[in-house]
Amino acid sequence: MCGIIGCVGCGDQTLTTLVHGLSKLEYRGYDSAGVALVGDDGLQVVKKAGELDSLRGELDALEGVSGTLGVGHTRWSTHGPPTDENAHPHQDCTGDVGVVHNGIIENYQSLRDELESAGHTFESDTDTEVVPHLVEEGLEDGLDAEAAFREAVSRLDGAFALACVVAGSDAVLVARNDSPLVLGIDDGATYLASDVPAFREFTDRVVYLDDGEFARLDADGWRVSDVKGETIEKSVETVEWDAEDTGKSGYDHFMLKEIHEQPRALRQCLQGRVDELGGTVTLEELGDLEPDRIHLVAAGTSYHAAVYGSQLLQADGVPAQAFFAHEYASSPPPDTDALVVGVSQSGETADTLSATRTARRHGAETLALTNTVGSTMARECDHVCYIRSGPEIGVAATKTFAGQQTALNLLTQVATPGPSDRDVIEALRELPSDTQEILDESNAETVAEELLDSDAYFFIGRALNYPVALEGALKMKEITYKHAEGFAAGELKHGPLALVTGNTPVFATVVGDGELARKTIGNVKEVEARDAPVVAVTDGVSDVKRYADHVLEVPDTHPRTAAILANVQLQLVSYYTAAKLGRSIDKPRNLAKSVTVE
Ligand code: F6R
């Protein structure tokens, strides 16, 4: 979704800093970009539809765009198509006010009608443009820039992160409500952004803004205040990852890099939480929480992790259910004794936040299971468990899915009465090296090449491998744009089998040689009889290889971790299929990394 960057105190590096920040926000998904700078020549705004290179080209062509403070924006269209006019920053009638915005202003139409009746003219289709015109009104009434901005914000309903600059003012003005904003604090310079990677290269000290807070960034530093202008004391936190973590480190794509980071990410997730000698799991963050039942709420890939987690919990005797966050938000089940776990990489997904907020309103205790320190969900929920995967830049979630699965294994051990399961602990201990083994030896690239011309890709699995099938298909469709579906293997002959042909490969995950494996092999035979190429993702314990055209091996381990490992093979197949098709792997069309609108 949209990204915001701003800076004060960067001197003649202001424009460079803004454009660099925008490049670091590209991963969030966008279709236009722009900057606004304030300097001796007043306010200069440059914005272009398309990739950041179009903006760079325009800045080069214009020459001399400069300033000593400014804001920048990457826009992911909601109100109006991706045109130069709809790109941010937006300005008022005088051209002295520049505003960038993430989120949605719900009452923009009535405000626009009112402003138009008062003589304001609008240049764009966006909801955002009402804000600079409202600020203009305040300035005309004699307010200073900060007071005019506050007054404007007080008129808005909806979700927003806003940053405003005004010609002649020495400050960047900021407001947050339901959309993430973080300040970066350096000696002599202050930054603001929707996400830390935008300024991580310059500082690791951050201040997370909360809903209803305003901030003023100027040459003297920064000040956070409430709606009445009263100063709010904020703590400065330190980010625990490096700027290099947001680079590609020699990989062609962030997605491939992040797939390869999984052994480290999983090690970090487990570190200090599993006592191998004592055979115990501790999640200090949860205190002595002993939930009677658990509801997991999530969207997309995180929902697949939630389905996986609910199965683990149920298997160990804790009543648990996974819900699509958007459904939970609008019609929550009545049991308020459930611990409601928001599973979200970003901790900013609007649907999932809405679900955890609904749960809180209904009196339930909430837990954020997230990757993003300081995210809205982490701050709002009663408890937080970080998955510690490190920054994930590729739009398609990879290492964070494995991190969520791993953390849900830990949560299951903690939530289940009685001692931890030593077999699970042993398998978790080996998980990082098992993952490395797959990355070192996978033949996924060959499989991708041989199946490249397929009409569609199907994924099947039972029990813990059902969410793996769903996730395998989601990854394939989002980065290759090919038709892909995940099915519960047992459902195949109840309908989906009609889709199976000689040009629709079926990826079947088969682990062990128990009843589930035998039944899935039965499904494999059914698709084989319809000439479908079969790809077995297997530990080789059963005889599924006999029926498979291709095999993707996973180490022989506990079924709970096998489901994490099988997914790594499927991630690689999707990645190489997309790479061979020349797709925009890290920024698939129409998608955004963090979906902050419902
Ligand atoms: C798919 C993907 C999305 C997200 C979903 C939820 O690769 O990344 O489906 O999983 O938008 O996002 P988070 O986990 O940030 O709540």
418 class by beta-carbon count within 10 Å (0-12 exposed, 13-18 middle, 19+ buried) = exposed
Centre of ligand 1 to C-alpha 266, Å, is: 19
| Alpha-helical segments (H) within 271-398 | 300-315, 325-330, 350-361, 376-380
Q: Are residues 396 and 336 in the same domain?
A: yes
Distance 285 CA to ligand 1 centre (A): 24
* CA 400 / ligand 1 centre spacing (Å): 9
- Is the Cβ atom of 352 under 6 angstroms away from ligand 1? yes
The pLDDT confidence band at residue 257, using thresholds 50, 70 and 90, is very high
* Domain range for 230: 3-249
Q: Which two tokens stand for residue 443?
A: 């033949």
Query: Got the DSSP string for 426-460?
Result: HHHHHHHHHHHHHHHH--HHHHHHHTTT-SEEEEE
Domain termination site, one of 398, 418, 440:
440
The least confident of 169-183, 244-258, 511-525 is 244-258
Given this model, what pLDDT does residue 71 score? Answer: 98
Last residue of some domain: 440, 455, 477? 440
- Please work out, in degrees rounded to the nearest 5, the angle formed at the alpha carbon of residue 409 by the alpha carbons of 407 and 413: 115
- Residue of 1, 195, 301, 324 best suited for mutating to test ligand 1, as the one with most atoms within 8 Å of CB: 301
Tally of domains within the chain: 3
Residues 273 and 399 in one domain: yes
Q: So what's the pLDDT on residue 539?
A: 97
- In this structure, are strands 69-75 and 3-8 parallel, antiparallel, or unpaired? antiparallel
Which atom number of ligand 1 is nearest to the Cα of residue 301?
10
The DSSP annotation for 373-432 comes to TT-HHHHHSSEEEE-------SSS--HHHHHHHHHHHHHHHHHSSSS--HHHHHHHHHHH
Contact criterion met (CB below 8 Å) for 412 and 500: no
Verify whether ligand 1 is closer than 6 Å to residue 1 (CB atom): no
Q: Exposure of 161 by Cβ count < 10 A (0-12 exposed, 13-18 middle, 19+ buried)? A: buried
278 or 130, greater pLDDT: 130
Query: Which atom of ligand 1 lies nearest, measured to the CA of 404?
Result: 14
Told to judge if 2 belongs to the known catalytic residues of this protein, a careful annotator would answer yes
Mean pLDDT of 334-358: 93
**Three-state DSSP class for 192?**
strand
Contacts of 544 (CB under 8 A, 6+ apart): 508, 510, 517, 520, 521, 524, 536, 538
Q: Are residues 240 and 162 part of one domain?
A: yes
- Cβ atoms of 210 and 180 within 8 Å: the answer is no
Cα-to-centroid distance, 275 and ligand 1 (Å): 31
Percent share of the chain, pLDDT over 90? 84
**Cβ contact 548:355 at 8 Å:** no
Q: How far apart are CA 592 and CA 76, in angstroms?
A: 8
- Give the C-alpha separation, 206 to 183, whole Å: 5
Same domain, 237 and 257: no
Binned at pLDDT 50, 70 and 90, residue 456 comes out as very high
Q: Which residue has the higher pLDDT, 240 or 450?
A: 450
Question: What global pTM score does this model have?
Answer: 0.84
For residue 367, is pLDDT > 80? yes
Q: Tell me the pLDDT band of 277, cut-offs 50, 70 and 90.
A: confident
Query: What per-residue confidence (pLDDT) applies to 119?
Result: 97
On whether both 545 and 577 belong to a single domain, the answer is yes
Same domain, yes or no, for 196 and 292? no
Least confident of 284-293, 336-345, 554-563: 284-293
Could you tell me the sign of the dihedral formed by the alpha carbons of 300, 301, 306, 308, in that order? positive
CB-facing half-sphere around the CA of 188: CA atoms within 13 A: 6
Q: What are the C-alpha distances in Å from 182 to residues 153, 156, 215, 314, 376?
A: 18, 21, 10, 38, 11
pLDDT tens profile 8-60: 999 999 999 999 999 999 887 788 999 999 998 899 999 999 999 999 999 99
Q: Is the pLDDT of residue 592 over 90?
A: no
Element (H, E) at 191: strand 190-193
Q: Name the closest-CA residue to atom 5, ligand 1.
A: 300
Domain boundary among 230, 249, 268: 249
Q: What is the pLDDT of residue 240?
A: 84
Indicate the helix (H) or strand (E) that contains 264.
helix 262-270
Q: Which residues pair with 6 in a beta bridge?
A: 71, 192
Residues 135 and 257 in one domain: no
Do 520 and 573 fall within a single domain? yes
Domain CATH code at residue 79 = 3.60.20.10
Domain co-membership, 186 together with 138: yes
CB-CB neighbours of 321 under 10 Å: 18
- C-beta 375 within 6 A of ligand 1: no
Rounded mean pLDDT, 195-201 = 93
Closest CA to 26 of 60, 65, 53: 53
Residue 428 has pLDDT above 90, yes or no: yes
Cα–Cα dist 155/151, whole Å: 7
Q: Please tell me whether residues 159 and 200 are part of one structural domain.
A: yes
**Edge-to-edge strand ranges of the sheet holding 293-298:** 320-324, 293-298, 338-344, 365-370, 383-386
Minimal-distance CA residue to ligand 1 atom 3: 300
> Which 8-state DSSP code applies to residue 165?
E
Residues 596 and 456 in one domain: yes
pLDDT of residue 178: 82
Annotated catalytic residue 48: no
Whose alpha carbon is nearest atom 9 of ligand 1? 300
The CATH number that applies at residue 536 is 3.40.50.10490
Return the pLDDT at 28. 79
* 389 and 476 together in one domain: no
Kindly state the tokens that stand for 367: 């837990």
pLDDT digits (tens, 9 = 90+) for 388-414: 999 999 999 999 999 999 999 999 999
**pLDDT tens-digit series, residues 64-104:** 888 999 999 999 887 788 899 999 999 999 999 999 999 88
pLDDT at 88: 96
Q: Which amino acid is at 125?
A: D
